[in-house]
Amino acid sequence: MKNLPVTLGVFLLAAAVSDSVRAQQVDAAQAREDERAASSSGRKPAQATDLDRVIVTGVRAPKAVDKIPGAISIITPEEIRQSLVITEDNTAVLARTIPGYAESSQAMTNSGESLRGRIPLRLFDSIPQGSPLREGTRNGTFTDMGVIGRIEVINGPSAAEGIGATGGVINYISKVPEHDGSETTISARYQTQFHDDSVGWKLGLSHAIKKDNYDFLASVSQLERGMAYDAKGRSIGMNSSGSLADSQSRNLYMKGGFNFGQDGEQRLQATYSNFNIGGNGDYIQVVGCKGPHDWPPCDTPYPNTSVKGHIDGQRDALNKFIQYSLQYTHNDFFGGTLDLVGYQADQGMRFLPENGADRQLVKPAPADDADRIFDQSEIQSEKKGLRTSWTRPTLFGVDGLELHTGVDFVQDVAQQRLVMTDRVWVPPMDYRSVAPYAQLSWDIGPVTVSGGLRRENGELDVDSYTTVAYRNSVFVEGGTLDYTANLPNLGAIWRVTDQFSLFSAYSKGFTLPDIGIPLRNVNYTGQSVKGILDLQAIIVDNIDIGFNWRGSRGALSGSWYHSTSDFGASLEVDPLTSDFIMTRAPTDIKGIEFTGEFRFTDTFKITGLYTHLRGWTSFWGPDPQGRYDAGPLKKPLGIFDATPDKINVALVWKALPNLDATLGASMLRDRHLTSSAVREYDGETFDYDEKINGYTLWDLGVNYDSGRFGTFSLGVDNLFNKYYILSGSQGDGWQNYWAGRGRVVSLSYSYTFR
């Protein structure tokens, strides 16, 4: 670990809150109180009116969106409510409302759900929900969406949160008590695809208290999901990386805080979250076939399906998140706002068994079936950290000159084991980081300029270990790797008029390349952790140029971006082992995004988004022995990294003050990518050909507030029962051929006691 005094020596210069962002929470209840007070006094309720345009992700203090250069999206409580009427999938709301976010996997796993072609950093109340040491693609399902109040999304690489945000930052922010006194809300849900085993249900209970100087929120829920069926009435195959079908989840969330000191300028807040989702183990997957070129081949393609059954000794798939946090805030600390957040987060991810050689082969090859066992893996991750920040809005007596500075401490420990035989697959990894940062922003009339630097000082310790039998049971010497990087950002936004602004921004993102993959794939003797080139960090440079317009009846935002990495990373499936292997090579991504809305009347509006991105990498990376460099950027980034063109449209009708309806359409366009290259060193030829068939899905949500009898909702996902193959299943993956869900009908009910 780097010496702490050295780090503190660069405290005021270091590290970066990128022009993108991070999040805690805006006090919506206080805004509503200000609105009521303003109304009674005749003043315009500016704070309440602009609440949906305030963001705190990345700046750790409320800041207006039109003063932050970058492509920013705020998913409002209303949009979350509309999405939950249709589906309980955590990432579905992102796929519907965020340009650049890939199609939802409809599973417990979020594999392939990239943001602008790269992996985003997912946060829950600003606490990381995954580990770059071993990315298990389970960090999209971590809580009951019923406790989420809003979501702040920063499109594009950002060092704001430190490690992990090469695609952007997605911060789920929990609800806050909104009304004085206490209130209790009960909720229920029933959903079906009209098959006997497709029925699902949910029960939830929340209780909120808000008094003069303290508040408290508690929520508990249980969700049972039945088997999922495609539009042809065929049961969908169980996803080995984690299915939502035939599963149950339980969630407990509590948050309490009190204000003290003169005029309540200090606050202490504690949170606890316990989420557990697991399979019921009633079905096993039957692998499908993509056609004549699959193995084994077939004349007519058919997707994976499921049949009743259970593998002896198999443990059910599991995703478990437990996190604690304690936050102290002082709003008048040496003329600024001090914010301290300490947290601990534990995550367990268990995967279903697959017949892959890495996991199942007991003896080195050659081996017959008697030398195989059925095993399954489990990832354990533990994080603890301290996030500190101090924001002073007026620096050196200059109005509009703001300093934001602090230092973040984090420890992340992760490993992956084969649990049925208690074997090491990925050894224990321990990453520790001290990252100071400083950020300046200056409002100069209609222009805000910002810039800063974050200094990442990290060390990774890996224990010595022995690889599995298929990798020749070789001994790998452990060691320590240093990860240091200066991560600057610059940006400016020009508010041309009250309605129109232009922005330009440059930022860096930093992450580790899923350390566990190259560690577990070592297969020759004499190797040490320090000698594995694939363990080098991924640093992404990003340029954004865009505009924002907000008129009396509509809004439109757009941006163009260019994201590059000299030593990027992508995962491919090894056809011999059925396991992931990592390719390290340069990457280059460009794209455009648009989002907008138009209100035809006070009761009828349309919203929409469009995204287009293309990316390129090399067919081969640099040779570890130095015989040749990485190839040219001629290999297109396929479906696992880059989404096809996407168009989403929603019509929202407020038919009555207590009745609203939303009709949505999600369109994924066709895409055909081809390329080839020849490596001069040895004459080897590389080819790439991927064809994605697009589709359009419709959904409908209706809400009726009856007043004294509660709120009733109807949701229909895949309204016209469209048959389609998930776009991520159309790529060249291992046993990944899944159809999407057919029509799902949901009935929901909620009632609040005050």
Q: CA 316, CA 322: separation in Å to the nearest integer?
A: 19
Beta bridge partners of 462: 429, 479
Which pLDDT value is given to residue 12?
31
Average pLDDT over residues 80-106: 91
Average pLDDT over residues 46-55: 50
- Please give the full DSSP string across 353-422, using - where no structure is assigned: ----HHHHB-SPSS--GGGB----EEEEEEEEEEEEEEEESSBTTBTTEEEEEEEEEEEEEEEEEETTTT
Q: What is the pLDDT of residues 447-490, one digit of tens each?
A: 999 999 999 999 999 999 999 888 888 999 999 999 999 999 99
Which pLDDT value is given to residue 29?
37
- Please give the full DSSP string across 432-468, using - where no structure is assigned: EEEEEEEEEEEEETTEEEEEEEEEEEEEEEE--EE--
Q: Does an H or E element contain 587, and which?
A: strand 580-601
Tokens 């790998």 — which residue? Answer: 476
672 neighbors 691 (Cβ within 8 angstroms)? yes
Q: Is the pLDDT of residue 56 over 80?
A: no
Fold of 4-203+379-753: Maltoporin; Chain A (2.40.170)
Average pLDDT over residues 37-41: 33
17 neighbors 404 (Cβ within 8 angstroms)? yes
Helix (H, G, I), strand (E, B) or coil at 271: strand
Which pLDDT value is given to residue 472?
85
* Selected residue with higher pLDDT from 54 and 392: 392
390 neighbors 345 (Cβ within 8 angstroms)? no
29 neighbors 467 (Cβ within 8 angstroms)? no
Helix (H, G, I), strand (E, B) or coil at 616: strand
Residues in the chain: 754
Q: What is the pLDDT of residues 423-450, one digit of tens each?
A: 899 999 999 999 999 999 999 999 999 9
Average pLDDT over residues 665-691: 95
Which pLDDT value is given to residue 38?
34
Q: What is the pLDDT of residues 643-666, one digit of tens each?
A: 999 999 999 999 999 999 999 999
- Closest by CA to 416, choosing from 383, 385, 376, is 376
539 neighbors 483 (Cβ within 8 angstroms)? no
Can you give the pTM of this predicted structure? 0.88
Q: Is the pLDDT of residue 539 over 50?
A: yes
Q: Is the pLDDT of residue 3 over 60?
A: no
Q: Is the pLDDT of residue 20 over 70?
A: no
* Selected residue with higher pLDDT from 130 and 19: 130
Q: What is the pLDDT of residues 598-638, one digit of tens each?
A: 999 999 999 999 999 999 999 988 887 889 998 999 999 99
Percent with pLDDT over 90 in the chain:
62
Weakest mean pLDDT among 28-32, 66-70, 97-101, 707-711:
28-32
Q: What's the token pair of residue 625?
A: 């022995």
Q: What's the token pair of residue 367?
A: 């081996």
Which pLDDT value is given to residue 544?
96
- Sorting pLDDT into bands at 50, 70 and 90, what band is 370? low
Mean predicted lDDT score pLDDT of the chain: 86
Q: CA 2, CA 21: separation in Å to the nearest integer?
A: 26
* Selected residue with higher pLDDT from 348 and 39: 348
Q: What's the token pair of residue 587?
A: 């990457």
658 neighbors 707 (Cβ within 8 angstroms)? yes
- Sequence-distant (6+) residues with CB within 8 A of 6 are none
Average pLDDT over residues 69-74: 88
Q: CA 254, CA 270: separation in Å to the nearest integer?
A: 8
Q: Is the pLDDT of residue 241 over 90?
A: no
Which pLDDT value is given to residue 41?
32
Q: What's the token pair of residue 34?
A: 């200000």
Rg for the chain, CA atoms, rounded = 26
116 neighbors 166 (Cβ within 8 angstroms)? no
Q: What is the pLDDT of residues 396-410, one digit of tens each?
A: 889 999 999 999 999
- Please give the full DSSP string across 14-47, using - where no structure is assigned: -----SS-------HHHHHHHHHHHHHHT---HH
250 neighbors 224 (Cβ within 8 angstroms)? no
90 neighbors 141 (Cβ within 8 angstroms)? yes
Percent with pLDDT over 70 in the chain:
88
- Closest by CA to 541, choosing from 493, 595, 583, 590, is 590
Which pLDDT value is given to residue 159?
67
Weakest mean pLDDT among 128-132, 547-551, 587-591:
128-132
Q: Does an H or E element contain 77, and which?
A: helix 77-86
Beta strand 633-636 with 604-618 is antiparallel
125 neighbors 325 (Cβ within 8 angstroms)? yes
- Alpha carbon 370 to its chain's center: 41
* Selected residue with higher pLDDT from 680 and 63: 680
Q: What's the token pair of residue 434?
A: 């001290």
Average pLDDT over residues 304-319: 86
